[in-house]
């Protein structure tokens, strides 16, 4: 069954008591690819760091009051990436997510660079993309590369998908113009703390819309998440994203990802711990 899904299957460690594929409503997988990052590289080590740190964490969600001890998440391993070839790797991400969707399960992707979010989101069949990110990721190309972590949201919008950016605070003038032209919705970083996410989601989503949630760790303030390749000060807090997940409980969410973890910039592992916690809290938020 898994022979055709392009996984290297090197790791089966998320979390410590991982469920069988049959029993888990979620399937975790990594995308250890960073060839298209523009500043510090190293995000290819992100999935490995998340699997390592989660071994020491409790499987209790304080925010949602859920015990994940018995839940478990099936870890499918890592996508077999082709370093330097984002298009080929993106196709592999698409095939993995299609396989997970075909099983009636929800993918949770950990990166790796942000480039692969539109591939995963499209393969889930989602209508709407919600992106926590410092950046708009709406450049047409970056350094001549159209499949870069600075273009990922634009690749989604170009296909007609709608997008909501949360925590955004770093733009090029080209991106500001593009987002205005395409009606990309935004909750700017400075507005997040006082945001009413229930109302924002009501405005953004139509009846029946299915959501894909993407978290670029640089959306957080660097004091919470220093381990990213392109840090931007004046960011949002983890509890802001938990409030967003809470508001999303009233909607269908077809998949989520946590991207851009760069362990080389994360000597105390706090960013890896946050990434793991976001996966666990997302899981908790989807339990009845
Ligand atoms: Mn970013």
The owner of tokens 């819309």 is 209
Dihedral sign, CA of 52, 257, 81, 98? Answer: positive
The three-state secondary structure class of 259 is strand
pLDDT of residue 37: 72
Whether residue 80 is preceded by a cis peptide bond, meaning omega within 30 degrees of 0, is no
- CB-CB contact of 27 with 74 (8 Å): yes
pLDDT of residue 3: 46
Quickly list DSSP for 158-197: HTT-EEEEEEE-B--HHHHHHHHHTT-EEEEHHHHTT--H
- CB-CB contact of 272 with 266 (8 Å): yes
pLDDT of residue 1: 40
Ligand 1 mean position to 2 CA, how many Å? 32
Ligand 1 mean position to 133 CA, how many Å? 5
Helix residue ranges per DSSP H, 57-172:
86-102, 117-124, 152-158
Ligand 1 mean position to 158 CA, how many Å? 19
Report all structural domains of the chain as residue ranges with CATH numbers, in order of start: 2-286 (3.40.800.10)
pLDDT of residue 148: 86
Tens-binned pLDDT, residue by residue, of the chain (288 aa): 444 454 544 444 566 556 788 888 999 999 998 887 777 788 999 999 999 998 888 889 999 999 888 777 888 999 988 888 999 999 999 999 999 999 999 999 999 999 999 999 999 999 999 999 999 999 998 888 888 888 999 999 999 999 999 999 999 999 999 999 999 999 999 999 999 999 999 999 999 999 999 999 999 999 999 999 999 999 999 999 999 999 999 999 999 999 999 999 999 999 999 999 999 999 999 998
pLDDT of residue 263: 96
Question: CA–CA separation, 161 vs 155, rounded Å?
Answer: 9
pLDDT of residue 14: 65
Closest CA to 236 of 170, 182, 185, 172: 170
pLDDT of residue 221: 98
Ligand 1 mean position to 120 CA, how many Å? 17
pLDDT of residue 10: 40
pLDDT of residue 17: 55
Ligand 1 mean position to 136 CA, how many Å? 7
pLDDT of residue 203: 98
For residues 195-207, b (16+ Cβ closer than 10 Å) or e, as one string? bebeebbeebbee
Ligand 1 mean position to 74 CA, how many Å? 27
Ligand 1 mean position to 6 CA, how many Å? 27
Closest CA to 254 of 105, 113, 76: 105
- CB-CB contact of 133 with 168 (8 Å): yes
Ligand 1 mean position to 117 CA, how many Å? 12
Question: CA–CA separation, 31 vs 49, rounded Å?
Answer: 12
Write out the two tokens for 129: 């993309």
Ligand 1 mean position to 220 CA, how many Å? 10
Ligand 1 mean position to 215 CA, how many Å? 9
Whether residue 167 is preceded by a cis peptide bond, meaning omega within 30 degrees of 0, is no
pLDDT of residue 189: 98
Ligand 1 mean position to 114 CA, how many Å? 7
Ligand 1 mean position to 162 CA, how many Å? 18
* The model scores a pTM over 0.85: yes
Ligand 1 mean position to 70 CA, how many Å? 34
């Amino acid at each position: 069954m898994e022979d055709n899904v392009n996984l290297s299957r090197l790791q089966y460690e998320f979390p410590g008591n991982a469920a069988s594929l049959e029993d888990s409503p979620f399937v975790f997988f990594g995308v250890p690819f960073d060839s298209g990052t523009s500043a510090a590289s190293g995000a290819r080590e992100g999935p490995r760091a998340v699997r390592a740190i989660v071994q020491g964490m409790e499987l209790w969600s304080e925010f949602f009051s859920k015990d994940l001890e018995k839940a478990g998440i099936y870890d499918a391993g890592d996508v077999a990436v082709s370093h330097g070839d984002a298009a080929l790797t993106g196709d592999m991400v698409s095939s993995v997510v299609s396989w997970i969707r075909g099983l009636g399960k929800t993918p949770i992707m950990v990166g790796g660079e942000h480039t692969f979010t539109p591939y995963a989101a499209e393969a889930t069949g989602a209508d709407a993309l919600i992106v926590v990110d410092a950046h708009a990721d709406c450049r047409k190309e970056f350094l001549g590369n159209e499949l870069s972590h600075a273009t990922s949201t634009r690749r989604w919008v170009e296909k007609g998908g709608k997008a909501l950016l949360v925590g955004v605070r770093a733009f090029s003038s080209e991106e500001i113009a593009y987002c205005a032209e395409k009606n990309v919705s935004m909750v700017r970083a400075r507005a997040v703390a006082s945001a009413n996410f229930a109302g924002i989601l009501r405005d953004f989503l139509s009846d029946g819309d299915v959501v894909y949630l993407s978290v670029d760790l640089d959306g957080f303030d660097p004091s919470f998440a220093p381990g990213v390749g392109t840090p931007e000060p004046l960011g949002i807090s983890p509890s802001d994203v938990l409030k967003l997940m809470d508001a999303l409980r009233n909607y269908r969410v077809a998949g989520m990802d946590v991207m851009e973890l760069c362990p080389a910039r994360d000597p105390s592992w706090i960013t890896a711990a946050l990434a793991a916690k976001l996966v666990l809290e997302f899981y908790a938020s989807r339990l009845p």
